[in-house]
């Protein structure tokens, strides 16, 4: 199989992987994608990003998190302009509750490029930065980020909004930002 065909197959299989909800199918696809990547000699930033995602998005992600981190770092090393590996590296640290490292890496994400790519990821990034700041004791800075997220929620179509989980985890239930968010997101 030619390199270009292998690359195409890798990303087709990854699309299947990201859409399936059945663990056994995910495990099978993970194995197939990793096998294809082993055959692919021209691994670029996107390939290492996919490798990182395969481990990060597994049921046993805690066992594989160091490998995911390594792959995201390699993806960043190969292409500093690839925003998603930087974002997922920050997610890894966030999930490990290493909030200083999470914040450091969230702040490295090219916000302008992420905003152009997917606005929902951009607003979520701002919320995650706010969460880290808030939990690290910088409550005013965290609240400023949450207020900015609220302003975006007011103007975004519903399809571009995601559950403001981090905001809700930080702020008291009767906080004015939470009350305003409840007016927008009626399911809260």
- Rounded distance between C-alpha atoms, residue 30 and residue 20, angstroms: 11
- Identify the sign of the CA torsion 98, 104, 109, 112: positive
- pLDDT for 5 equals 74
Which whole number is the average pLDDT over 132-144?
Answer: 98
- pLDDT for 1 equals 57
Q: Among 25-34, 115-124, 146-155, whose mean pLDDT is lowest?
A: 25-34
* Cβ 136 vs Cβ 128: under 8 Å: no
Of 131, 133, 134, 126, the closest CA to residue 156 belongs to 126
- Per-residue pLDDT tens over the stretch 71-110: 999 999 999 999 999 999 999 999 999 999 999 999 999 9
- pLDDT for 114 equals 96
């Amino acid at each position: 199989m030619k390199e270009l065909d292998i690359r195409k197959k890798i990303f087709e299989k990854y699309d299947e992987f990201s859409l399936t909800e059945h663990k056994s199918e995910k495990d099978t696809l993970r194995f197939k994608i990793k096998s294809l990547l082993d055959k692919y000699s021209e691994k670029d930033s996107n390939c290492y990003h996919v490798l990182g995602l395969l481990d990060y998005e597994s049921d046993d992600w805690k066992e594989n998190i160091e490998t995911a981190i390594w792959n995201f770092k390699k993806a960043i090393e190969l292409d500093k302009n690839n925003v998603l590996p930087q974002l997922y590296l920050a997610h890894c640290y966030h999930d490990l509750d290493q909030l200083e490292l999470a914040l450091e890496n969230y702040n490295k994400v090219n916000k302008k490029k992420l905003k152009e790519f997917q606005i929902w990821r951009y607003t979520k990034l701002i919320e995650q930065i706010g969460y880290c700041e808030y939990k690290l004791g910088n409550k005013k800075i965290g609240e400023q980020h949450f207020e900015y997220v609220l302003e975006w929620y007011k103007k975004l179509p519903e399809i571009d909004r995601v559950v403001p989980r981090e905001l809700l985890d930080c702020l008291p239930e009767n906080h004015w930002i939470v009350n305003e968010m409840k007016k927008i997101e009626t399911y809260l």
